[in-house]
Amino acid sequence: MKRRFMDVTNNGDRLVLVVGLGINGIAAALRLRQIGWTPVIFQRAAR
User: Do residues 35 and 1 lie in contact, with contact meaning Cβ atoms separated by under 8 Å?
Assistant: no
Ramachandran angles phi, psi of 35, nearest 5°: -100, 10
pLDDT values of the chain reduced to their tens digit, one per residue, 47 residues: 555 555 666 666 788 999 998 999 999 999 999 999 999 999 887 76
What are the domain boundaries of the chain? 16-47
Q: What is the pLDDT of residue 4?
A: 58
Spatial distance between the Cα atoms of 25 and 15, rounded to a whole number of angstroms: 15
